Amino acid sequence: MLEIVKDSIDLLEQMFYNQGMDAINRIKMLSAQMSLEPSEEISAIGGAACPKLSPRKEEAIFVHPAVMPNGQRIQLLKTLLTSACERNCFYCPFRAGRDFHRATFTPDEFAQTFMQLNRKSIAEGLFLSSGVVNGGLRTQDQLIDTAEILRHKMGFRGYIHLKIMPGAERAQVERAMQLADRVSINLEAPNTARLQSLAPLKQFTDELLEPLRWVEEIRRTQPGYKGWNGHWPSSVTQFVVGAVGDTDLELLHTTERLYQQLRLKRAYFSAFNPIPDTPLENQPPTSPVREHRLYQASFLLRDYGFSIEEMPFDGTQNLPLDADPKLAWARTHLTDQPIEVNRADRQELLRIPGIGLKTAEAILQARRQGLLRDLSSLGKIGAAAKRAAPFILLDGHRPAYQISLW
Ligand code: SF4
């Protein structure tokens, strides 16, 4: 979901004119090239539009209406320091040797350009990644230098999400954490074997998993840290889904371990889409429904107390596409053993389709006032009552409901 900020283009071009049109053109190009990378919780509010529908997309700067952990909505610029890269990941449009127009900023140039966008309220927050040039170490230094300039020379107090490069050192990870609100390391694949087929120059354990471990180790061993905003940043990762035979079981197994052991905030799943002129260009695209099911399952693992063993995988170790995983689980486990809503604890309530985190709390509150006896009282406190109906008892009785034909 993204919003194309075009209103101020003329103004911006004037603004940049004396400093050269080059910087604004590079930001346009790099923000467009990054527009499909999932990152923050992207808000549906804010006039999101598909860039293909824009008649002048080549003149747009892409900013994304994003929701911050505190609920604040900001305009997030997602971009790269450089779209040049010396690595050759098989799925990636930026891979070395691929013929397309690339652009590069120095840290100083980028910080100045971003701050001009920020002062005009075009970009309030920043997600900064980069292709790898002269090794991961050197590239990480460039990202850190950019964040240092923004924070300490230019006084930027807004949101920064910094990417950790494959091959970064522990001290660099710690410095990035001192400057950012969120850091991310994309695992890309659920294990070493799959990564080998997807990005043969990346090392799953040493280059990708280890920095994620450092992030958690640093947070755990320095709990009193009061950095620039009073706490350590959250950490996230991303997987490319379906390009090299990876199964949902593999992806969710790794995701569950990341949530449990490394306190990952979120795993992002990016359905594979073949890019022309890459080694995987003839692979079929992955269904976006599969991506959606993986998100649903990952939230069950993270927030609802489900374990990987309870996920309703089919014989191919994938989730069914035709039902969300909670509903599929409930059909097997709750149809003959419905849950009594008036006696269930929070964990049991969360197993019921149509009851989410907030609704479970609301039910526990409402029960203090008296028994819940019908679907309408359940609906009034926020449950999707018809969805829940086949799997519950209300005061000992199965609620009357109409079976949906569709
Ligand atoms: S290292 Fe990153 S930018 Fe470079 S080819 Fe791989 S995924 Fe693309």
What pLDDT digit, counting tens, does each position of 116-139 carry?
A: 999 999 999 999 999 999 999 999
> Last residue of a domain, which of 176, 193, 222?
222
Answer yes or no: is pLDDT of 238 > 80.
Answer: yes
Is residue 113 situated within a structural domain?
A: yes
Mean pLDDT of 171-199: 97
Answer yes or no: is pLDDT of 4 > 90.
Answer: no
Quote the longest CA-to-CA distance of the chain.
76
Protein residues whose CB sits closer than 6 Å to any atom of ligand 1: 85, 87, 89, 92, 94-95, 131-132, 199
Measured from the Cα of 88, ligand 1's closest atom is: 5
> Last residue of a domain, which of 222, 249, 269?
222
CA distance 35 to 338: 44
CA distances from 140 to 40, 115, 129, 218 (A): 21, 21, 9, 18
Mean pLDDT of 28-54: 56
How many Å lie between the centroid of ligand 1 and the Cα of residue 201?
Answer: 10
Q: Are 217 and 338 part of one and the same domain?
A: no
pLDDT for 45: 35
Is residue 234 situated within a structural domain?
A: no
pLDDT in tens, 258-304: 999 999 999 999 999 999 999 999 999 999 999 999 999 999 999 99
Is residue 286 situated within a structural domain?
A: no
Is residue 307 situated within a structural domain?
A: no
CA atoms in the 13 A half-sphere facing the CB of 385: 18
Answer yes or no: is pLDDT of 67 > 70.
Answer: yes
Mutate to test the pocket of ligand 1, among 80, 95, 140, 278 (most ligand atoms within 8 A of CB): 95
pLDDT for 55: 42
Is residue 39 situated within a structural domain?
A: yes
Give the residue whose CA is nearest to atom 6 of ligand 1: 89
Is residue 181 situated within a structural domain?
A: yes
When divided into structural domains, the chain yields a total of 2
Mean pLDDT of 245-261: 98
Is residue 311 situated within a structural domain?
A: no
Parent domain of 94: 3-185+203-222
Q: Are 210 and 350 part of one and the same domain?
A: no
Mutate to test the pocket of ligand 1, among 34, 85, 186, 198 (most ligand atoms within 8 A of CB): 85
pLDDT in tens, 69-83: 788 899 999 999 999
Mutate to test the pocket of ligand 1, among 132, 137, 273 (most ligand atoms within 8 A of CB): 132
How many Å lie between the centroid of ligand 1 and the Cα of residue 83?
Answer: 9
How many Å lie between the centroid of ligand 1 and the Cα of residue 98?
Answer: 12
Is residue 41 situated within a structural domain?
A: yes
pTM of this structure: 0.88
- Give 402's pLDDT tier (boundaries 50, 70, 90): low
Give the residue whose CA is nearest to atom 2 of ligand 1: 131
Answer yes or no: is pLDDT of 50 > 70.
Answer: no
How many Å lie between the centroid of ligand 1 and the Cα of residue 386?
Answer: 46
